[in-house]
Chain A
Amino acid sequence: MLPLAQIDDSGRRMIPGTPVFDGDAAQAGYPLNAMCYSFNSQANRDAFVADEEGYMARFALTPAQLAAVRGRDVNAMIAAGGNVYYLAKLAGIFGLNVQDLGALQTGVGLDEFKAGLMSHAVTERHVAQLEQAQ
Chain B
Amino acid sequence: MSEVIGGVFTSHVPAIGSAIARGLQQDPYWKPFFDGFDPVHEFLHREKPDVAVVFYNDHGLNFFLDKMPTFAIGAATEYRHEDEGWGISFPRPYPGHQALSWHIIEEVVKSDFDPVTCQAMTVDHAVAVPFELAWPGAEEFPVKLIPIAINTVQHPLPSARRCYNLGKAVGRALESWQGDEKIVVLGTGGLSHQLEGGRAGHINSDYDRFCLRNLARDPEALLQHDVLDIVELAGSQGVEILNWIAARGALHGSVRELASNYHVPISNTAAATVLLENRVTVSA
Binding site for B on A (CB under 8 A): 1-2, 13, 15-23, 26, 30, 33-34, 36-37, 39-42, 45, 78, 83-89, 92, 97-99, 101-102, 105-106, 113, 116-118, 120-128, 130
A97 touches B231 (CB 8 A): no
CA distance A84 to B199 in the complex (A): 13
CA distance A44 to B86 in the complex (A): 12
- Chain A residue nearest to B43 (CB atoms) is A130
B229 touches A2 (CB 8 A): yes
A117 touches B258 (CB 8 A): no
Number of interface residues of B (CB under 8 A): 54
What is the distance, in angstroms, from A59's C-beta to the closest C-beta of chain B? 13
A117 touches B32 (CB 8 A): no
Q: In residues 222-243 of chain B, which contact A (Cβ within 8 Å)?
A: 228-229, 231-233, 235-237
- Chain A residue nearest to B35 (CB atoms) is A125
User: Which of the candidate stretches B133-141, B151-159, B175-183, B244-252 sits at the interface with the other chain?
Assistant: B151-159
A19 touches B65 (CB 8 A): no
CA distance A21 to B66 in the complex (A): 15
What is the distance, in angstroms, from A120's C-beta to the closest C-beta of chain B? 4
A78 touches B228 (CB 8 A): no
- Residue B101 lies at the interface, judged by CB distance under 8 Å to chain A: no
- Choose one: B64, B200, B228; the contact of A105 (CB below 8 Å): B200
Write the B6-20 contact mask toward A (1 if CB under 8 angstroms, else 0): 000000001100000
- Choose one: A15, A40, A83, A125; the contact of B85 (CB below 8 Å): A40
CA distance A30 to B235 in the complex (A): 23
A92 touches B201 (CB 8 A): no
B60 touches A40 (CB 8 A): yes
- Choose one: B39, B156, B197, B203; the contact of A17 (CB below 8 Å): B197
B60 touches A102 (CB 8 A): no
CA distance A71 to B84 in the complex (A): 24
B261 touches A22 (CB 8 A): no
Write the B249-284 contact mask toward A (1 if CB under 8 angstroms, else 0): 000000011111111110110100000000000000
B228 touches A20 (CB 8 A): yes
- Choose one: A18, A23, A41, A98; the contact of B236 (CB below 8 Å): A18
What is the distance, in angstroms, from B127's C-beta to the closest C-beta of chain A? 15
Summed over the interface, the residue pairs from A and B with CB atoms below 8 Å come to a total of 157
- Choose one: A34, A98, A118, A122; the contact of B195 (CB below 8 Å): A98
What is the distance, in angstroms, from A116's C-beta to the closest C-beta of chain B? 5
Binding site for A on B (CB under 8 A): 14-15, 32, 35-36, 39, 59-61, 64-66, 82-87, 153-156, 194-203, 205, 228-229, 231-233, 235-237, 256-265, 267-268, 270
Which residues from A are CB-within-8-Å of B85? 36, 39-40, 45, 88-89, 92
B228 touches A15 (CB 8 A): yes
A15 touches B232 (CB 8 A): yes
CA distance A71 to B197 in the complex (A): 17
- Chain B residue nearest to A74 (CB atoms) is B196
A117 touches B65 (CB 8 A): no
Which residues from B are CB-within-8-Å of A34? 64-66
A117 touches B155 (CB 8 A): no
B60 touches A2 (CB 8 A): no
16 A-B residue pairs with CB within 8 Å: A1-B233, A19-B196, A19-B197, A20-B228, A21-B154, A34-B64, A37-B64, A41-B83, A45-B85, A85-B59, A86-B60, A92-B85, A98-B267, A101-B196, A106-B200, A128-B258
B201 touches A117 (CB 8 A): yes
- Chain A residue nearest to B261 (CB atoms) is A125
User: Known contacts A2-B232, A23-B155, A120-B265; can you find 20 more A-B pairs with CB under 8 A?
Assistant: A18-B197, A19-B196, A20-B231, A26-B154, A37-B60, A37-B65, A42-B87, A78-B196, A83-B153, A83-B154, A84-B237, A98-B268, A105-B198, A106-B198, A113-B200, A117-B264, A122-B262, A123-B261, A124-B263, A126-B260
